[in-house]
Every structure is written in C-alpha cells, then in structure tokens.
Chains A and B, each alone.
Chain A
C-alpha cells in the first residue's frame, strides 16, 4: 500500500533526535549562578592576563544594566541566568595527540560521524573541536603554521598572541552591543581564533564542531577570524547537542574582520537539539555574528539552520570599505514547536558596496519561522547595490512564516531590490513525481532540495552533503 501522509506525519513526530546521547566524561563545573567572582574565576581558570579579566568585568557590569530583549517574533520562557553554570571543561585536558584523548570523547565524535582520524586522513579539514567550551584537540596546526596561519582556541590566542586579540576583540561587536553579546563577553569560556597573514590563501577549509554536552551548562563561544590584506579563508562551523529536557542556552559571538582585499567565507550548519515533538526541551540559540569589511574585501555568510528550539540570529556585514561585498545565504528549517527569527543586516557605508541576501525558510509542524533583515544605505554610500530574496515554504496549516524586511536608503544612488514569496509544495508537483514512480517522501525531499539549492550550492562540498541530509532528516514526511 502507498505510504499515506498520515503515516509520514506520525513517523516524523516519533523521530527522535538522532544525535541525542550524553557522553560520560568527568567535567569540572563551576557552581551555578553569575556574579563578579564567577567572572573572575573563569578568567583565572584560564590564566588570562589582567586586561582580559578587566575587559570581562566591564562587560559584566554593563550586562547587569541591560534588559533581555523581547522584540523578536519568538515566545519562550526567559532563561534564569542565575541557574546556569558558566564554566564546564572536560577534566582530561591538554592532549598533544589523539591517543591521549578520552576514548569516550572520541566515541562521541564517531557517533556524530566526524571521526578525527578520518578527518585528518581523508578530508583534509583541520578541526578545532570544542567540547563543552574547551578545545581538546587541534589538528593540522603544523600544516597551517607553515603558511603563518594561526588557528587555535581563543584562550591560547589570548596567551600567545595578546596583541592580535587585544587589537581586534570586541571591535566588530562591542561588548555592550546587545544583551547576549555582553553576557558572552563577560563569561565566554572558549572558542576559536584564526589569523590569516597578508596575501595567504588558506590551503584548507578550517572547521570547528561545537557540541553542547554538560547538562545545564550555558555555552558561550567566542570566535574571532581575522583575514589580513589580500588573504582568503573558508571557515566551517557545525553544531549539534545531545538531547536534554531543560532548555540549554547558547549565546555565542562570532567576529569576522576582512582587511583590504581579503575574503572570508563563513559557513554554519546548526543542528542543535530542537526539543521533542511536544516542544519540550531544546537549545536556545541567541547568537551575535558580525563581519567588518575593509576596502575591496568580501564576507560571505552561509548557514543551514535545522536545530534549536529558539533561534535568534542575524549574521551581519558592515561594508565599511569602498567596493566591499557582503553576502548572506541561509536555509532555516523549523519543525514541531521550533521557533526561528533569523536574517541578516547589511550596513552599506563605503562607496560601490554590494550585498546579496538569499534566504529560504521552511516551516513545518507547529513551528514559526521568521525572516528579519535590515538593508541600510548610509548617506555617503554612493552606488550601493543590494539584492534580497526571501522565500518561504509552508508545510501544513499549523505553522507560520513571517517576513520583516527593513530597508533604509539614505543615498539617492542606491539601488535596492527586495522580493519575497510564500508558497507551499504544490499538489501537482507531488502528483507529477508520483506519476514517475517517486514516492511522496522522496518527492518532498526533491522539491525541498530544489527550493534550497541556491543556498546549498554555496556550501563547501563537505558540508553540502551533510546539510542536504539534515534537511531530509528534519523534514521527512511533514507535508500535509
């Protein structure tokens, strides 16, 4: 008998989070709650210099005066910031080679299908794995070092390259930028640091896998990527979290700096636990990502968002230099009770700046998916050019798709185009596929793939396959 839509729906609802498991590694966790002492302790634990400790304290002092924002089109119970533990590090630390790494940890990565050995040998991707905030294994550093590329955890960078960190940290996203950025600045536990020297084209894709593991720990990552004049780097970030009942908070900060003629390509696949079919549990993802473009430089954000219970994320580009280019390609998939409010900001300041926004939103189940974007052309931004397209695909009549595009033009030479559509998968399309012997589920996968193709094509090869799989997993059978 044919596979009915009802069955499909059921199957989807029952589908458990594939990566829902916890690793038993002894962790060192701070007492819950947040105060000045905790901030100091985090800093001390990481042997940070005084300027860093003070920087954190300033951020904390400012954070205390701020209120949690509630303008986004999402509903959730506000996390209790005094009920979170702000630091958690696996006890087994400072491993030089893979043999020394906790086998449990390696198993986790194997379950995720990203075994380090394999990565090392086959894919040519250097992985700086972040497991509950502390970098436990960094690979390929030597290869990168030959070109003068620095790729390490941010805590190492603070110790080893204080000048670079001091010069750039908080420059794109000030510690007072917003509520979560301030919180992150105060308590960030670890993250990645990357510096590409002048004229160097990074020979491989740099990659980090985030994974929220310890129950009840907030994850506060800090990433800083600096591409010096004329350099190029492609950076991948993938995230998954095990299944847990309490909502976990993730408030990361990612800063990109592209100096003159440099290019940064930043890709994200986010597959954090979205909560179960009743909307219980799941990760809160409140991330601040922003890139600064100097002359003739280019920053390109690509994201595939399939996870998290609540997403609140706007990777942005500040096109400060003349002739700089900003790009944003996004697929956001929401299912069950997931809520996503995501989009981008393109701030045109320099002359002849260009930006492109392609956003694809897919909502299924009882989820709410919003695109919120800002295109701003300043008074002096002569000949700014923007093209935006945001398409939404609705599956079922219990979900919602929303678009909030803000367009502000203050220069008469600006050329801005924006278009948006909302539609569903046509019955005729499915019928056409059925006729040709493709079952409903495959047909949907096919159509969704076609719908998101423009964005998928922008992902590096290694990620494109994974992303495609993720799309299928998160949407299987959700069409009514």
Chain B
C-alpha cells in the first residue's frame, strides 16, 4: 500500500470520535478528498523539480503516535532562549507538553490549537481565520489540514504589545519511529499589536551518536507543519524559525502570511538540520504601505537537502518586500532557492528586492537557484541578484599570514558571509543562541564572544 493510500484510509480511524457537525471536521474531510485527488508531487512538478521528496515519503510513515514521552527539565532547558522570560508552547513528538510550557489567556491568547478547535467559544475565530490562506492545490497543506489537531494558537488583541517573546518548540524525543507529524499554528495579530515569535525544531538525540544504519527499521519523523498568520492593520510581527533537528529527520513547512495596510512582518529562517527540509513561505500583501522581510541562513553538511520556496504577492500599491537568503553548503549537501515575486497590475510603486548568496564548500555540494519575477505593473522597482561562489582566496591568505589557522580563518570568513542576516535579529539572546549554533555547525571556536 502506498503512503497516499495508507493516509487516506487512516483518515477514517483518525476522525472516528470527531463531531461530524463541526466546521473543522468539514475542513478535514474536504482536505483529505482533495489530497486523494492530487496525491504527492513528483519531480515532474515544477514546484518540486529539485527536491526528491519521494525519498522521505516512506510507506511506513503513520499519523498515529505510539506512546507519550516525558522529558526532564534538564534536557529541555537547553532549547529555551535562556536569560529572559518567555511564553512557551512545547510539543514533544507532536503532543503538547503542559509540564514545561507557559501559556496564557490574560491580555492575549497564547495556548494550544486543540483547545481552540474543540471549544465553541472560538467558533467565530475558526470560521473567520482557520484554513483561509492555504493553497488548495498544495498536497502537504491539504494533508496538514486533514490531520492537524495540535499546535500553537496565538491571538494578540488590538493595540497590545506582548511583554515577552513566544517560543513554540517542537521536540523530537527520538523514541518514535516512522511518525508523520502534522503540527498546525494559527496566529492572529489584531490592529496595532506587536509580537515576537520563535518556532524551533530540536531533537533530544545526540547528533553524533545517531547512525541511521545501525537500526534499519527506525525511521526518523517527518514533520509536515503549517502556519497561518494574519497581520492586521498597523500590526508588527517578528517571526523566527530555527530548524536544528537531526540530520535524518525531515521537515515540510508551509507558512502563509496575510498582511493588511501599514503592517510589517518579518520572517527569519535558520536552517541547520534535517535530511530534507522544504520551506514554503508565502506572503500576501493586501493593503497599502506594507513591508515584508524574508531572511534566512542555511548551513548544511553531509547529505542534507534544503529547499526554500518563497512567494511575495504584491497585490496593493506602495508596498515593499525584502528578501535575503544566505546558504553555506558543505560535504554533499544540496540547496535550492526559488524566490518568486509577483506584482499585480494595480500594485504600482512597489519596491521589491531579492538576494540569494551561496557558498559552495563541499566537493559534491550543489546549489540550484531560481529567483523569479512576475511583474504586471510598470511603476515598480524590482531587482534580484544571486551568486554562487567560494571564499575569497586572498582574504583567506591574509588571515593565514596573520597566524590564524586555516580552519579558523575559513570559519571567520564563513561567519562574516552570514553575518548581515544575523545583524537584523533584534532579540539579543536569540542572536547569541543562533551564533552559538553557527559556531558549532562550522566547527570552530571563533575566539571572540558570540
């Protein structure tokens, strides 16, 4: 039985005790039907041309979890920002962990999605926002809509500026095999509100002790996550994604962001882990004077594969978008960047910028990039640039003549390459945390305070 058939047939069991009159059940049923029609994409699909997603779609995957894992605080706390207070939503193997989470309903709703989906109090919210942004032709979005029950629900009311950042932490306990996770987040920032959100993926297993060959039956989880974000008039969103899971787990991330007049939304994606990671980041601008910022740093090694697909749809005049993605590829890793900017006829006076820089470090590493522009308005300023190259040999030589060993010199230059994306991270603690991960990933101590 193929994975598709398996998923479709497990849907019945999955929704066995669901309220068949609920709106959510209706959405799930419709989604699975659509999914059944289109199935999984293959590489003939232009959208998936460079990503062999079939590789991770093992028929052993299942949406049913075997057991519940509890984790000691000592282990979990490493994943926290540290140093500052924050709201936390912790999901272990896709299940909510109330022990270490820190949710609230005071001032703003920061809680789990399941409580919202099951509570009549929120039916207005569900009918107004839930499943409204997704691309109905995208297999994985449909799949998530069919099976998602858990995730973060964040609702910041009008003119509220959150006092603390929000952390949404996905932890892979390592105890589950063949699990296909379907986390789902719904985020609403009402008019004039402001929030900082950090969504991260970690694994409890130590990267060095993992050997996929030692246990052939064990398949690390595939996470198919979907996030819908509504940024209303004049609201301000700072969103950070940290993808630092095992090199053997895979992530498919669909994020849809709808922006209204005068709002600002930025999304930083830091990708270090994963066997195959696919990020579909979609920004829809519906109103004037909107600013969208998309940035990313990717550092991969081994056989890792990443695919960043971004879309910025400018549907209104006087808006801006700014994209900057940096990729560093070691060993046999491969990177894909497909950035698309669409400017509608009425969207005049648009300023759209897109940049993708890549460092190819590994002998067998490769990069496929396609920065794409589709422009229907004439009074616009749109540009994109993309480079693929190596570290500057003369700069490397310069550092070596100053007594810096080759490895450190390379590390310094690599770090400098990625730095200007990092500079825009406003939260100091987060910046430090990411710098640590980068230093760790590059494998050198850079000799200065990170």
Contacts and interface: CB of A to CB of B under 8 A. Distances in A.
Interface of A: 71, 377, 379, 392, 394-424, 480
A401 B365 contact: no
Contacts of A480: 378
Contacts of B374: 400, 402
Contacts of A413: 360, 390
Q: Name B's interface SS.
A: strand
A406 B368 contact: yes
Contacts of B363: 412
Nearest to A394: B378
A396 B378 contact: yes
A413 B362 CA distance: 10
Contact of A423 (B366, B368, B371, B380): B380
Interface in B375-398: 375-390
Contacts of A418: 369, 371, 384-387
B152 interface: no
Contact of A401 (B368, B375, B381): B375
B116 interface: no
Interface of B: 46, 345, 348, 358, 360-390
A403 B373 contact: yes
Contacts of B385: 417-420
Contact of B372 (A71, A404, A415, A416): A404
A388 to B, nearest CB: 9
A407 B368 contact: yes
A407 B390 contact: no
B360 A411 contact: yes
A415 B390 contact: yes
Contact of A420 (B360, B367, B368, B373): B373
A420 B362 CA distance: 28
A71 B46 CA distance: 9
14 contacts: A394-B375, A397-B378, A401-B375, A402-B372, A402-B373, A402-B374, A405-B386, A407-B386, A417-B389, A420-B371, A420-B384, A422-B373, A422-B381, A424-B379
Contacts of B366: 408-411
Nearest to A392: B375
Nearest to A385: B389
Residue of A400, A403, A409, A416 with most chain B CB atoms under a 10 A cut-off:
A409
A229 to B, nearest CB: 33
A417 B361 CA distance: 17
A408 B360 contact: no
Given A396-B378, A401-B375, A480-B378, A412 B386 contact: no
Nearest to A379: B364
Contacts of B379: 397, 424
B46 A402 contact: no
A407 B383 contact: no
Given A412-B361, A413-B390, A419-B383, A424 B367 contact: no
A403 B372 contact: yes
A258 to B, nearest CB: 26
B195 to A, nearest CB: 33
Given A407-B388, A419-B383, 6 more contacts: A400-B374, A405-B371, A414-B360, A415-B390, A416-B389, A418-B386
Contacts of B377: 394, 397
Contacts of A404: 370, 372
Given A399-B378, A400-B375, A409-B367, A420 B348 contact: no
Contacts of A399: 376, 378
Contacts of A397: 345, 348, 376-379
Nearest to B377: A397
A423 B365 contact: no
Contact of A416 (B370, B373, B387): B387
A401 B374 CA distance: 6
Residue of A377, A392, A401 with most chain B CB atoms under a 10 A cut-off:
A401
Nearest to B342: A402
A410 B50 CA distance: 13
Contacts of B372: 402-405
Nearest to A376: B368
Nearest to A480: B378
B46 A424 contact: no
A396 B365 CA distance: 43
B240 to A, nearest CB: 28
A62 B108 CA distance: 66
A392 B343 CA distance: 14
Given A412-B361, A416-B387, A416-B388, A398 B370 contact: no
Residue of A379, A406, A415, A480 with most chain B CB atoms under a 10 A cut-off:
A406
Contacts of B386: 405, 407, 416-419
A395 B383 CA distance: 17
A480 B372 CA distance: 25
B378 A417 contact: no
B367 A407 contact: yes
A408 to B, nearest CB: 5
A423 B349 CA distance: 10
Nearest to B366: A410
B367 A408 contact: yes
Contacts of B389: 414-417
A396 B348 CA distance: 11
A74 to B, nearest CB: 14
A307 B298 CA distance: 44
Contacts of B348: 397
A8 to B, nearest CB: 15
Given A398-B345, A412-B362, A424 B370 contact: no
Nearest to A395: B378
B388 A423 contact: no
Residue of A377, A392, A422, A423 with most chain B CB atoms under a 10 A cut-off:
A422
Contacts of B364: 379, 410
Residue of A379, A395, A397, A412 with most chain B CB atoms under a 10 A cut-off:
A412
The 9 closest A-B pairs by CB, nearest first: A394-B378, A412-B360, A416-B388, A422-B382, A410-B366, A419-B385, A421-B383, A424-B378, A418-B386
A325 to B, nearest CB: 19
Nearest to B382: A422
A415 B358 CA distance: 10
Contacts of A377: 388
Contacts of B358: 409
Contacts of A408: 366-368
A409 B376 CA distance: 30
A412 B335 CA distance: 13
B33 to A, nearest CB: 27
A227 B369 CA distance: 34
Nearest to A401: B375
A282 B380 CA distance: 30
A400 B388 contact: no
A102 to B, nearest CB: 47
A398 B390 CA distance: 42
Contacts of B361: 412
B387 A417 contact: yes
A412 B380 contact: no
A333 to B, nearest CB: 15
A360 to B, nearest CB: 14
A199 to B, nearest CB: 37
Contacts of A400: 374-376
Nearest to B348: A397
B365 A412 contact: yes
A444 to B, nearest CB: 13
Given A402-B375, A409-B360, A415-B389, A423 B381 contact: yes
A59 B435 CA distance: 59
B383 A420 contact: yes
